[in-house]
């Protein structure tokens, strides 16, 4: 079952259960998927594009929640975080920090990186290898730690 089909099915379930906040999040995902499909020439989009799209939506909601929290609007922040969690549930399982460190160490060895100057080279390889499996912010933090002895 494709992501679009799964989202459509879950929208129906949310409508029947009258889950307003969940429905909003699912409709946002559906809208973003449809927009991506039409911009890609009307065809199907790859799983990689779907993952990047979902990550973008989750990131937007978490950032918005931070802004709302800073403005003492906790009611709106909670809604954004709830929607971010709903959207994140459609992402592949994220790797833990302990699982990422050995992968990045291997990338550093393969690329021959010796210092922080080589961070771009390591990040490019790590982002490609761990796409959809880990947050780029976490990857960057680990790469900095490992390249700065």
Q: CA torsion angle for 62, 56, 120, 132 (degrees, to 10)? A: 100
Using an 8 Å Cβ cutoff, are 25 and 86 in contact?
yes
More confident residue, 31 or 49: 31
67 shares its domain with 115: no
* Claim to verify: residue 71 and residue 110 sit in the same structural domain: no
Contact criterion met (CB below 8 Å) for 30 and 11: yes
Q: What tens digit of pLDDT does each residue of 109-141 get?
A: 888 888 888 888 888 888 888 877 887 888 888
The CATH number of the domain holding residue 135 is 1.10.10.410
Q: Using CA atoms, how far apart are residues 105 and 90, in angstroms rounded to an integer? A: 29
pLDDT surpassing 80 at residue 42: no
Same domain, 104 and 77: no
CB atoms within 10 A of CB 29: 23
Question: In the chain, what percentage of residues exceed pLDDT 90?
Answer: 38
Range of the domain at 118: 97-147
Looking at residue 91, what is its pLDDT? 86
Q: Are residues 103 and 143 in the same domain?
A: yes
**Total of domains in the chain:** 2
CATH number of the domain within which 57 lies = 1.10.1510.10
Same-domain status, 81 and 8:
yes
Contacts of 76 (CB under 8 A, 6+ apart): 65, 68
The two three-digit tokens of residue 49, written as one number: 């594009």
SS (H, E, C) 42-91: CCCCCHHHHHHHHHHHHHHHHHHHHHHHHCCCHHHHHHHHHHHHHHHCCC
pTM: 0.72
Which among 44, 59, 88 is the end of a domain? 88
- Please, are residues 3 and 36 in contact by the beta-carbon 8 Å criterion? no
């Amino acid at each position: 079952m494709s992501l679009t089909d799964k989202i459509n099915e879950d929208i129906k379930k949310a409508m029947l259960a009258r889950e307003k906040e969940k429905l909003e999040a699912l409709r946002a995902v559906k809208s973003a998927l449809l927009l991506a499909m039409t911009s890609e020439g009307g065809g199907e989009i790859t799983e990689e594009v779907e993952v990047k799209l979902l990550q973008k939506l989750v990131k937007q909601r978490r950032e918005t929640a931070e802004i709302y929290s800073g403005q003492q609007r906790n009611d709106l922040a909670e809604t954004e975080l709830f929607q971010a969690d709903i959207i994140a549930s459609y992402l592949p399982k994220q790797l833990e920090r302990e699982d990422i460190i050995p992968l990045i160490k291997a990338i550093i060895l393969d690329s021959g990186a010796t210092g922080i100057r080589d961070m771009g080279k390591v990040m490019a390889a790590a982002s490609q290898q761990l796409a959809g499996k880990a947050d780029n912010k976490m990857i960057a933090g680990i790469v900095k730690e490992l390249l700065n002895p």
